[in-house]
């Protein structure tokens, strides 16, 4: 007993060492697959592992979901930004397309006439009760002069009244101060086209005996030397056969929508100065 007590530590170390070495030798020789001890440990560890793995998997899944949502949010933000950019591009393309369409119409006029044209952009409008004018971005520096006819698809729309160096004012046919000599295309009946503001234009001084019908086309007569002959002005929309007067009151609608004017052309030369 004394021996055991004195060499307790050494005996303990030796016993442990021998046990472990025996264990290794046994397992190396016979394998440890069917070990009872291993089964006990595995059975004990299994529920712990299940709980721990489940918890960690839950946390990991939640984290991954969070990361996914953060990614999704970022992606959504980027896509919205992209949509806005693309919308801006589409708007720009639409704008360019419409401008091209308008310019194409103006170009058609230029191509089918012998006049020289100066193209200008509308930069402002004055749509007061009695005054109907627009401002354009060309002036005397570009060769414009007072009285020059102004054209927008498909015909005449007015004339220049104030020409500055780089800006000019166009008096539209619908302005109350505008008077243009015109003829009805079908029967060559002559009259004066006067502006009537929002009501369009009125063809004046046409005798009641004249055969003017709704739908007749009114063109410039070429008299007075301001406007060339035969250019479209408008279309008869209503005829007022006044009881007491000598003349008809013929309402003419312009072909051009003056509220949507963006580009115009100015006839910079008369018929004698061909392009």
Interface with other proteins by CB under 8 A: which residues?
A: 9, 12-13, 16-17, 20-21, 23-24, 26-28, 32, 35, 37-38, 41-42, 44-45, 48-49, 52-53, 56, 60
Q: Output phi, psi for 122, to 5 deg.
A: -75, 125
Distance CA 192, CA 182 (A): 6
The full length of the chain comes to 275
For other proteins, the closer of residues 48 and 129 by Cβ is 48
For other proteins, the closer of residues 49 and 101 by Cβ is 49
Smallest distance from other proteins to CB 87, Å? 44
In this structure, the strands spanning 132-136 and 247-254 are unpaired
Contacts of 91-96 spanning 24+ positions with Cβ under 8 A: none
Smallest distance from other proteins to CB 55, Å? 9
Residues whose CB falls within 8 Å of the CB of residue 153, separated by 6 or more in sequence, listed in order:
102, 105, 106, 108, 109, 256
For other proteins, the closer of residues 51 and 88 by Cβ is 51
Smallest distance from other proteins to CB 58, Å? 12
Q: How far from 140 is each of 150, 225, 253, CA to CA, in Å?
A: 15, 20, 31
Q: Which residue has the tokens 């009285």?
A: 147
For other proteins, the closer of residues 50 and 104 by Cβ is 50
| Structure tokens given for 248 | 């008809």
End-to-end, the C-alpha distance of the chain in Å comes to 136
Smallest distance from other proteins to CB 32, Å? 4
Smallest distance from other proteins to CB 4, Å? 14
Smallest distance from other proteins to CB 74, Å? 25
For other proteins, the closer of residues 49 and 87 by Cβ is 49
| Structure tokens given for 5 | 């007590």
For other proteins, the closer of residues 15 and 128 by Cβ is 15
């Amino acid at each position: 007993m004394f021996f055991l007590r004195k060499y307790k530590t050494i005996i303990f170390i030796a016993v442990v060492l021998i046990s472990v070495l025996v264990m290794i030798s046994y397992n190396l020789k016979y394998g440890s697959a069917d070990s009872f001890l291993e089964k006990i440990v595995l059975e004990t560890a299994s529920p712990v592992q299940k709980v721990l793995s489940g918890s960690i998997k839950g946390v990991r899944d939640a984290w991954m979901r969070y990361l996914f949502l953060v990614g999704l949010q970022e992606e959504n933000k980027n896509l919205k930004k992209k949509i806005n950019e693309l919308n801006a591009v589409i708007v720009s393309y639409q704008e360019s397309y419409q401008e091209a369409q308008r310019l194409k119409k103006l170009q058609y006029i230029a191509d089918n006439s012998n006049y020289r044209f100066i193209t200008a952009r509308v930069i402002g409008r004055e749509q007061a009760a009695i005054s109907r004018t627009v401002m354009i971005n060309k002036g005397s520096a570009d060769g414009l002069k007072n009285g020059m006819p102004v054209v927008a698809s498909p015909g005449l729309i007015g004339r220049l009244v104030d020409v500055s160096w780089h800006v000019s004012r166009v008096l539209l046919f619908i302005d109350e101060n505008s008077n243009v000599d015109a003829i009805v295309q079908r029967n060559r009946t002559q009259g004066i086209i006067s502006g009537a503001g929002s009501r369009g234009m009125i063809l004046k001084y046409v005798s009641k005996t004249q055969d003017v019908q709704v739908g007749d086309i009114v063109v410039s007569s070429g008299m007075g030397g301001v406007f060339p002959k035969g250019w479209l002005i408008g279309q008869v929309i209503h005829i007022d056969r006044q009881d007491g007067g000598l003349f008809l009151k013929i309402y003419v609608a312009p072909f051009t929508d003056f509220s949507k004017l963006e580009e115009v052309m100015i006839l910079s030369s008369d018929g004698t100065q061909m392009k």
